[in-house]
């Protein structure tokens, strides 16, 4: 990624920190992000939704429960 100026760098770092602390699974935390508290959630059925950040450089997948 080509950083254009200081404002762009700050925006990229903010997105990366959000991804790293709130979404990315960490092996040392039993595949939970650092900001997650308590036990891991039980698997649920639903559809998988992908959230992309930084033009697709970072991605996060999460299961959204189907509406009954």
pLDDT for residue 42: 66
pLDDT for residue 32: 77
**SS3 for the chain, per residue?**
CCCCCHHHHHHHHHHHHHHHHHCCCEHHHCCECCCCCCCCCCCCCEEEEEEEEHHHCEEEEEEEECCC
Q: Domain range spanning residue 51?
A: 6-65
**Domain-embedded: residue 28:** yes
**Domain-embedded: residue 1:** no
Using 50 as the pLDDT threshold, list the residues of the chain that sit under it: none
Count the domains in the chain: 1
pLDDT for residue 38: 67
pLDDT for residue 22: 82
């Amino acid at each position: 990624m080509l950083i254009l100026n200081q404002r762009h760098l700050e925006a990229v770092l903010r997105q990366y920190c959000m991804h790293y602390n709130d979404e990315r699974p960490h092996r040392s935390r039993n595949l939970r992000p650092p900001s997650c508290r308590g036990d891991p959630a039980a698997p649920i059925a639903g559809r998988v939704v992908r959230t992309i950040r930084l033009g697709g450089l970072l991605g996060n997948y999460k299961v959204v429960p189907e509406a009954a």
